[in-house]
Chain A
Amino acid sequence: MRRFGRQCRGQGKVFVTLVRQTETQLLTTGRQVGGLAQAAQAQVQSAGQLAEDQRIRLATQLKVALAAHQQIATQSQRLTQGKSLSQCKIVNAYDPTIAPICKGKSNCPTQFGRKPGLIAEPASGFIFAFALPVGNPADPSYVVPLVDKVQHAIGQVASRPTLAIHSLAGELALNDSKLRETLHGRGILTVGIPQTVEPLTPAPTPEEIRRMLHEAGLPHQRTPHQVQLACAAGYSRPVVESIIASLLGRGAARITYKGQRGAIVQIGMAVMAHNAATVRRIHQDRLSKRAQKFRRLLRLKRHKANEFKDSKN
Chain B
Amino acid sequence: MRMLRHLQYWLTGGGPHIRVADFVPETHPVRQWADTFPWAGLVAAVERSVAQRFPTPTARGRAPVATRVLLALELLKHELHCSDEQICSQLRTDLAVMYACGIGEVQVDGSQGHFVLPEVLAQFRSRLDAAVMDELLALQAAAAMEAGLVSPAHLVVDTFPSEQGSQRVNDAATLYKAKKKSSRSSGISPITAPPRARR
Contacts and interface: CB of A to CB of B under 8 A. Distances in A.
Contacts of B6: none
A178 interface: no
A174 to B, nearest CB: 8
B47 interface: no
Contact of A152 (B128, B138, B147): B138
Nearest to B148: A301
Interface of B: 21, 26-27, 29, 31-37, 39, 74-79, 81, 99, 102, 104, 125, 128-130, 133-134, 136-142, 144-168, 170-172, 175-176, 179
Among B29, B140, B164, the one with the most A-chain Cβ atoms within 10 Å of its Cβ is B164
Contacts of A93: 168, 170
Nearest to B145: A157
Interface string A262-276: 111111111111011
Interface stretch (A39-47, A107-115, A212-220): A107-115
A272 B137 contact: yes
Given A149-B138, A265-B125, A269-B74, A235 B156 contact: yes
A264 B161 contact: no
Contacts of A129: 134, 137-138, 141
Nearest to B21: A311
Given A18-B176, A119-B155, A311-B21, A272 B75 contact: yes
B133 A124 contact: no
A162 to B, nearest CB: 10
Contacts of A143: 157
Contacts of A26: 171
A280 B33 CA distance: 6
Nearest to A145: B134
Among A19, A157, A226, the one with the most B-chain Cβ atoms within 10 Å of its Cβ is A157
Interface in A162-196: 163-174, 192
B145 A154 contact: yes
17 contacts: A2-B160, A101-B161, A113-B162, A118-B160, A120-B156, A121-B156, A124-B149, A128-B137, A156-B138, A166-B153, A168-B155, A239-B156, A253-B163, A254-B163, A265-B133, A275-B36, A275-B140
A15 B172 contact: yes
A34 interface: no
Contact of B163 (A111, A166, A167, A277): A111
Given A265-B128, A311-B35, A170 B167 contact: no
Contacts of B31: 308
A272 B151 CA distance: 17
A169 B75 contact: no
A313 interface: yes
A282 interface: yes
A152 B131 CA distance: 13
Nearest to A306: B26
A303 interface: yes
Nearest to B35: A312
5 tightest Cβ-Cβ pairs between the two chains A and B: A254-B165, A268-B133, A301-B148, A156-B142, A153-B138
Given A101-B161, A230-B154, A253-B162, 20 more contacts: A116-B160, A118-B159, A123-B154, A130-B137, A153-B141, A154-B142, A167-B154, A174-B157, A192-B156, A250-B79, A255-B163, A256-B165, A257-B125, A266-B78, A268-B133, A271-B137, A276-B36, A279-B144, A282-B149, A298-B151
